[in-house]
Amino acid sequence: MKKDFSKNALTVFLSYFRPHIRLFLTDMICATLVSAVDLVFPIVSRRTMQTLLPQRMFGVFFAVIAILLAAYVLKGVLYYVITVLGHGMGVLVEADMRKDVFTHIEGLSFSYFDKNRTGVLMSRVTNDLFDITELAHHGPENLLICTLTIVGALVVMFFIRWELALVITVILPLLIGFTVRQRKRMQEANVEVRKKTAEINAAIESGISGVRTAKAFANEQEEGRKFDLANGIFKTAKRDYYKAMGRFMSGMEFSTGALQVIVIGVGGWLIMRERMNYIDLITFTLYVSAFLSPLRKLVMFMEQYTAGAAGFERFLEIMRTEPEIQDAPDAAVLTDVAGEIRYEHVTFRYNDGIDVLRDVSLAVHKGESLALVGPSGGGKTTLCHLLPRFYDVTEGRVTVDGIDVRSVTQESLRRAIGIIQQDVFMFAGTVRENIRYGKPDATDEEVVLAAKRAEIHGEIMQMPDGYDTYIGERGVMLSGGQKQRLSIARVFLKNPPILILDEATSALDSVTEQRIQASLDELSKGRTSIIIAHRLSTVRNATRIAVIEGEGIVEEGTHQELMEKNGAYARLRLAQSLAE
C-alpha cells in the first residue's frame, strides 16, 4: 500500500510497523512482562519481610524465593526474545524504508541529481536508516517498559506511603522537563552531525571515484586536504553534539542520585515521626531503584531518539521531494511507435532563468537520421534530453508520432528510445549482465546475437570467461571501444524505433571510431536517429544536418547543401580541417 508522506512524521513512522504487526505485538508483550517482573519484586520482598520471616514461615519463604528466581529466568528469556525479534523487526522496517527511498530516488528527475551529490544520497540510504532501525526496535519497547515501570512503581508507592510518593511525584516532572529540553538541543546538534557525515561520505566517494585522476595529476595531497577540511567540520559538529549529550548525561546522573538521597532523607524523617517503618523505606528504595533503571534507559533512548529522529527527518525530506518530471494523471502508454519526431517552437531554460534553447522548431521524419552540430554549450544535448523527458520544455512541445511526450508515460516513452552516449556507464558485473541491461528478460542467444551485431562477440570470446567475464567498477577492465560496443549491443537488444547518439565516438581514436561507426550504421538502419557529432566527418551521410548556435538552429540541410551555402556549417568544417 502506497504511503502518504505528507502526513506528520510519527504517523509515517508507525505506518512501517503495520506489515510487521505480529512481531511488534510479540515484542510489546514481552516488554510488558519484563516490566511486571520488575514491579512485582519489591512488593513481594516487602510481604516477605513483613509476614513470612517474622512468622517463621521458612518453607513458604524459600518457595517465594524460588518463584522470584524463576521470574528472573523468565525475564532473561524475554530479553532474549526482545533482542532477537525486536532487532529482526527493526531490520525489516529498515529494509522497507530503504526500498522506498531507493525507489523514490530512482524516480526523481535529472534536475535533482544535478543539485545533489552521490555521496550525500548514499549517506541517507545507509547511515541515516541504520539509526532509524535502532529507534524502530528500541523506541517502542523502551518507552513501554519505562512508562509501565515508572507509573506502576508510583502507584504502589502511593499505597505504601503517600507522603513520600508525593515527594517523588513532584521531583519527577523536573527530571522529565530537563530531559525534554536537553533532547531538543541534542536533536538539533545531531541533525548537524548527519549533514556533516553526508559531506564526509561525499568527499570519500569523490576521492575514490576520482583516484585515477588524482594520481595522474599527482594531487593526492590536494585530495587529502579537501578530505581534512570536511573531516574537520565533521569533528566540530560531533564535538557540539557530545557537549549537548554530556550536559544531558551529567544532569541525569545528578538528578537520579539526588532522588535517592531525598528518598532516604524524607523516609528517615517519616520514621522519626513514627509514620513509616524500615521495611516500607527499604521497599521504597527498591522501587526507586526499579524506576531509576528505566530512567537510565530513557537516557539511552534519548540518544537513539535524537539520532533516529534526525535520520528520519532527512528520510522524509527525500520522500517528500516530488519529481519535477511526472506522468500526467491521464497519461497513455505509447505503442506502435513509427518514429516521427517534431520540436514545435521549443524554448528551454534551467532554473537560473537563462535560455538554452529559444523557439526551436525541427522535424525528424520516420527512418531519417538528423545530425546536430555546433559549438559546445550550444544546446545539442539539451535538445536531445527533451525527447525522452529527462527535462521538460519551458515553452512549446515535443511530439512523437504527433503525440505530445508529456501526455504519455515516461516508461513507455523511454522504452521507445535508445541512447548511446560518449561517457558509457558500465555496471560492476559481467559482460552478459551489462548487455542484458537492454532487455532484462533476454535469452543468452539474444545476448550473443546483439553482441555479434555490435561487432564485439569475437573480443568477448577472447576474454578469460567469455560472456561471464567480470568487467570491474564502471567497466574499468575494458577499453573505451569495448565499452562503447557493449553499449551498442545493449541498444540492439532493446531494439527501439528511435535512436539518440550523443557524441558516441568522439572520445575514440580514428581506427576504433571506424569500427564503432560500422556498428552504429548497422544499428541506425530503419530507425529514426538523432546524432550529436563533434567530428563532422561522421555525419556526412546523415539525411539532414542542423547547426545549433546561440539558443537555436541557424542552418539546416544536407551536407552538400550546407557546404554550398558556405555558412556556419562550412566554417565549422574548415576550422576542424585546419585543426586536423
Quick one: average pLDDT of 551-572?
84
User: What pLDDT score was predicted for residue 151?
Assistant: 81
Q: Where does the pLDDT of residue 332 fall: very low under 50, low under 70, confident under 90, or very high at 90 and above? A: very high
Split at pLDDT 50, 70, 90, the class of 404 is very high
Measured between its terminal Cα atoms, the distance across the chain in Å is 61
Q: Report the mean per-residue pLDDT for the chain.
A: 80
Task: State the pLDDT confidence band at 39, using cuts at 50, 70 and 90.
Answer: confident
Residue predicted with more confidence, 223 or 92: 92
φ and ψ of 113, to 5 deg? -75, -20
| Cβ pair 306, 88 in contact under 8 A | no
Q: Which of 70-79, 309-318, 328-337, 458-467 has the lowest mean pLDDT?
A: 309-318
DSSP-based three-state secondary structure for 507:
coil
Cβ-in-10-Å burial (0-12, 13-18, 19+) of 445 comes to exposed
Q: Mind listing the pLDDT tens digit for each residue in 133-178?
A: 777 777 777 777 777 877 887 887 787 778 877 887 887 777 767 7
| Whether the Cβ atoms of residue 414 and residue 388 lie closer than 8 Å to each other | yes
Q: What is the pLDDT of residue 215?
A: 61
Q: Tens digit of pLDDT for each residue in 519-561?
A: 777 778 888 989 887 777 677 778 898 888 876 888 888 888 8
Predicted confidence band of residue 426 (pLDDT cuts 50, 70, 90): confident
Q: What is the pLDDT of residues 465-524, one digit of tens each?
A: 999 999 887 788 888 778 888 888 888 888 889 988 887 665 556 666 676 777 777 778
pLDDT above 80: residue 577: no
Name every residue whose Cβ is closer than 8 Å to that of residue 265 and which is 6 or more positions away in sequence.
none
* Residue 333 pLDDT class (50, 70, 90 cuts): very high
Dist. CA 118–CA 198, nearest whole Å? 10
Distances in Å between the Cα of 220 and the Cα atoms of 118, 208, 424 are 21, 11, 26
The pLDDT, as a whole number, for residue 401 is: 92
Q: Which residues contact 448 (CB under 8 A, 6 or more apart)?
A: 457, 467
Higher pLDDT, 69 or 518: 69
Per the DSSP assignment, residues forming a β-bridge with 502 are 421, 532
Type of residue at 464: P
What is the C-alpha separation between 446 and 252, in angstroms, rounded? 68
Report pLDDT for 397. 93
Q: Which CATH number fits domain 341-579: 1.10.150.120, 3.90.1860.10, 3.40.250.10, 3.40.50.300?
A: 3.40.50.300
Amino acid letter at 468?
D
What topology does CATH give the domain 9-319? Answer: ABC transporter transmembrane region fold (1.20.1560)
Residue 507's pLDDT is 54
Q: At what angle do helices 278-319 and 21-47 cross, to 10 degrees?
A: 170
Least confident of 110-114, 266-270, 312-316: 110-114
Does this model's pTM top 0.85? no
For the chain, the domains span 9-319, 341-579
Are the folds of 9-319 and 341-579 the same? no
Lowest mean pLDDT among 40-44, 314-318, 368-372: 40-44
